[in-house]
Amino acid sequence: MPTSRREKRLQKAINSYVLAQGDRPYVRLKLLQKYLRAKKLGNVDLKDLKKMVDQHIKSMEYREKKDNIEAMLFTKEGTPKKHKYGNAFCKRCFMFKDFEKECPYCGSLELTL
């Protein structure tokens, strides 16, 4: 888990890179490496950068599977929402609120940034 500001910025850059590259995340790794050096986010080895990209992809796949399972279990439609505005479960009554800001069960409002 990133702790320093630089590590957080590095993770954000990798996240944006993976999302932008789609199904070809390894094609521009050298360019990403140069960018990270230029922005002083880290002098990351190409091998380590590939591992970081792999870890991020696995993390994204895990979240997608988790969202699909939650949707199958707790919604009538059985499909996950595209736009998520809050947490899956209400922090007050613990009911599944399907990523809405306001809980339909207890009316609790979740503030998000």
Using CA atoms, how far apart are residues 102 and 90, in angstroms rounded to an integer?
9
Using CA atoms, how far apart are residues 27 and 39, in angstroms rounded to an integer?
20
pLDDT tens sequence across 64-77: 899 889 888 988 88
Mean pLDDT for the chain overall:
89
Q: Which tokens is 62 given?
A: 């895990």
pTM for this predicted structure: 0.70
Say whether pLDDT at 30 is over 90: yes
Q: Which tokens is 90 given?
A: 């209400």
